[in-house]
Every structure is written in C-alpha cells, then in structure tokens.
Structure 1
Amino acid sequence: MRRLRLLVAHRRAGVADRALALILAFIAGGANAGGFLALGQFTSHMTGYLSLMADNIALANLQPVLQAVVAIALFLSGAALSAVLVVWARHHRPRAQYALPVALQGVLLLGFAGLGLLGQAHPVANPAALGLLCFIMGVQNATITKLSGARIRTTHVTGIVTDLGIEIGRAAYRHGSGRALPGHDPRKAVILAQLMSAFLVGGIAGALGYGAFGFLFALPMALVLLAMALPALR
C-alpha cells in the first residue's frame, strides 16, 4: 500500500513518474477499447472528433457535429478541472496535489461501472457513459502532463508514436555517422515503447473485460486508482 501511495506523492521521482504513467496508460487503453465496444466511440481521440466535426459540417449533418462538440468540451473540461485541483492542492494540501485528480478518475470510473446497472437499453446509459469517459480521459491526460512536467502523456498515443519515431531516427543517424546527436536518449525510447505496450495490453484487457462483464469491466481500474490516491488523501 505504501508503494501505491508513493506513486501519487507530491515529491516526485523519475521511477514513480514512469510507474504511474504505465498504470494510467494501461487504464486509458482499457477505457478506450472497452468504451469503443460499448459505445462505438474512442473517447480519448480528440483528433478524430475534430475530423468528424469537419466532415459533418461539410455534409450539413448536425447530430454527429453536436456529439463531437460535447465530447471535446467534456475532455477539455476534465483537463481544466485536473489543473484546477492540482493548483488548488499545491496551495492548500500539497501532499494531495496529484492524489486528488487520480481519486477523481477512480470515482468517475466507479460511476461508469455503475451505469451498467441501468442496462444499455436505458436512454441515459450510453450518452452518460460516453460523456464520463471523455471527461475521465481529459482528467487523466492533464494529470500526468502536470505531474511529469509535460514529458509524458498517456492517452495521446499519436504523440507517443511520433516521439518514439524521433528517437529511432536519432539512434539510426548516430549509428550511421558514429557521432552522438544532442538530445538522443535511449532510455526515453524504452519508456515510450513501454507506454505503447501498456496502452495495448490495457486495450486487450478492456475489450475482453467488456465482453465478459459489460460496463463493470471498469470496476478493477477504478479500485486501483482509488487504492493509489485515498491513502495520500487521508
């Protein structure tokens, strides 16, 4: 339990940042994949929502445009709330500045799992679930961005793949020329590959979990987040 609490401690170490990032990437992959099977939408993919908006504005198809606007607004709101919680806690409860947004994610994932009790035929279940996941992904991405000093993101796989490609290019040039390039860091490439793998494995777990348990697949992820955050909040 103490090790879990250290993952959200206000005094940060590189090892704790990486461990927390891997856990959050796993959860993001699980929420994304399970959410897609449940709702037909990737809830962290803001690029996709903007493209959806553009296409449907051009086609004068307003319902998908409205859905995309709501999804983006909720992701944005989640990121904003995460920043507010971190800054507020930094001045009032420094030891809880990262535990607060992590606990919030856990509570919201519990709410998502609870929507499964309504049944997907209920008219509120799917829109509420989609909104919750978009909001949660915004909270998570902002939390790890603030915590790591903008060095790590867990839901933005396009950025992870881009950074990994840059590191591979730097390594290839170095080996070809025999000279070290400024900024080349093999450890960064390893971390990026681990984040991609965690997201993938989480996605597999989320897809299998949704197939077996429906919305309740989010329950173990919520409990992990709360186990990390609640001791620090106490």
Structure 2
Amino acid sequence: MLRKYSNHRTQSDNLKLGALTAFSAGMVNVTSVTVFFAFTSNITGYYAVFAQELSKGNWYQGAVVLLWILVFFMGSFLSNFVIIQGKGRWSQYISHAIPVMLELLSVLFVGLYLQFFYGNSLKETEFLVAALLFAMGLQNGLTASISNSVIKTTHLTGLTTDLAILLSMFCKEKNRQNKALVDKFHLLLTIMVTYVLGGLAAGIGYLHLGIGTFYLTCVILFSIAVYDFYKLARVKQYYDRRKVYKTSTSS
C-alpha cells in the first residue's frame, strides 16, 4: 500500500490506500463537525469564509481562517517534502509511512487534549481544528504524491465531478470496454463510498465512544502504516531463506 510510487502502483494498491484513507478522513471530518462544528477534511469553504471575514472587517477571525488554510497547505507540503528528501536516503516505504505517522500523532494529540485538558474555550477550539486540518493536509499530500494525483481522499468535490464525467463517457459502448476508465471509476466510487462509511462510523461511534472516536481513527491510520512493514518483513524472510537454501545446496 505504501511501498510503491506513482506508475509502479497497481489498481489493488490504490484501492486499499484510497479506501482506508478515505474512511479515516470521513471519520475525522464527522467527528470534528460533531465536536467543534467545523469541517476539517478540506479547505474549499474556508477560502470563502476568509473573504467574508475580511469584507466584514473581522481581522482576527480572518487571520484564524487564514491560519487554517496555511496549516493544511503545510501538511501537504511536508508530506511531499519528506517523500522527495527520502529518496536515496531510506526506503520508499519509510518515506511514505512518515506522513501517516505524523497524521496519526496529530489526531492522537487532539483526542488526548480533548480528554484531559480541554476547557471548551474558543482559542483551544481554533488550535485543535488547525491540528486536524494539518493532519488532513498530510494525508492528502501523501496520497496525491505517491499515486501521481490519482488518489485524493480528504475532499470529494473533484471526485464527484470526475465520477459524473466517467458516467457520461460510459454512455458510449467503447468506453465501457476501456479498462483504464473502468478501473478509475471503481477507484473513485470506492473512495466516495468509504468516505461516507467512515463518516457514518464516526457518527455512530461518537454516540458510544465520545472522544474515543479519534483513537479509533488512529488505529486505522496505524494499520495503514504497518501493513507494508509486515509484507516487507515477510519478503525479507523469504529471500533470507532462499539465500540460506542456495548456500547449503552449493556447499
């Protein structure tokens, strides 16, 4: 899921990564709306809010919204920066897993702060929303970077448009036989469905777990990070056994 980069990725790799990251993004967004009354999986609406606050002369509120936009930007920047700088220094898996672990730590921080320190003040809320936007920026930057912009899981505006375009193209028989278009349709549909399922899981989970819903999201992110580690360890073990076997047979 995280081992491969760009055109080396298979449809299966993209489906797994897209489904799990979209599910976690849906959970984060619905939980943040429930707790903070703020969307955190995308910043499209915040550009409009920023302009609105400036037009009203609400400079402080405008600055806060601008900060939210910038931390999402910085999350995406950091993801791609780590991936680029990691080439040649460590394995692709490590450079791809780092943004996921940073995202996990950001979400975990929000959960822990809410549970043990939150005083329900406006400044705390603004800061915690920023932390979640940073986490979503990390995720969106990672998935877009390693999939050559095929996977974007934190917002669905462009995805919904692409699905509509694909459906219109499928009105022609020859396009329905095009494997690349069909694979893209399946990937986008999977991301859309799992995002909604993640939001549904968060809504139900919050009724029973409360703040613990953030911890559940961390479990999903951790599973994304360690999935390929297990596979890498298994592959290394396989090649070590082959090396031992060849050595023993040659001697």
Report the more deviating stretch, 57-66 or 195-204: 57-66
1:75 aligns to 2:72 (yes or no): yes
* Aligned sequence identity (%): 24
SS at match of 1:97: helix
The 5 A counterparts of 1:2-41 are 7-10=1-4, 12-41=9-38
Q: Hey, what's the Cα distance between the residues in 1 that align with 2:101 and 2:193?
A: 24
Report the more deviating stretch, 91-100 or 56-65: 56-65
Q: Which runs of 5+ in 2 are unaligned?
A: 234-251
Alignment TM-score, normalising by the size of structure 2: 0.81
Report the more deviating stretch, 22-31 or 7-16: 7-16
Matched residue, 2:135: 136
Larger Rg: 2
Matched residue, 1:92: 89
Q: Across the two proteins, how many residue pairs are aligned to each other?
A: 224
The 5 A counterparts of 1:1-234 are 7-10=1-4, 12-94=9-91, 95-118=93-116, 120-123=118-121, 125-172=124-171, 174-175=172-173, 180=175, 185-230=181-226, 232=229
Q: Hey, what's the Cα distance between the residues in 2 that align with 1:19 and 1:113?
A: 26
**1:181 Cα deviation after fit:** 8.8
Q: Hey, what's the Cα distance between the residues in 2 that align with 1:59 and 1:125?
A: 24
**1:64 Cα deviation after fit:** 2.8
The verdict on how the C-alpha distance between 1:14 and 1:97 changes in structure 2, with shifts beyond 3 A counting, is: farther
> Which amino acid counterpart does residue 118 of structure 1 have in structure 2?
F
SS at match of 2:129: helix
**1:61 Cα deviation after fit:** 2.2
Conserved? CA contact 1:115–1:215, under 8 Å:
no
The verdict on how the C-alpha distance between 1:19 and 1:114 changes in structure 2, with shifts beyond 3 A counting, is: same
SS at match of 1:98: helix
Q: Hey, what's the Cα distance between the residues in 2 that align with 1:145 and 1:96?
A: 17
Report the more deviating stretch, 163-172 or 207-216: 207-216
Q: Hey, what's the Cα distance between the residues in 2 that align with 1:115 and 1:213?
A: 16
| RMSD over equivalenced CA pairs, Å | 2.3
**1:68 Cα deviation after fit:** 1.1
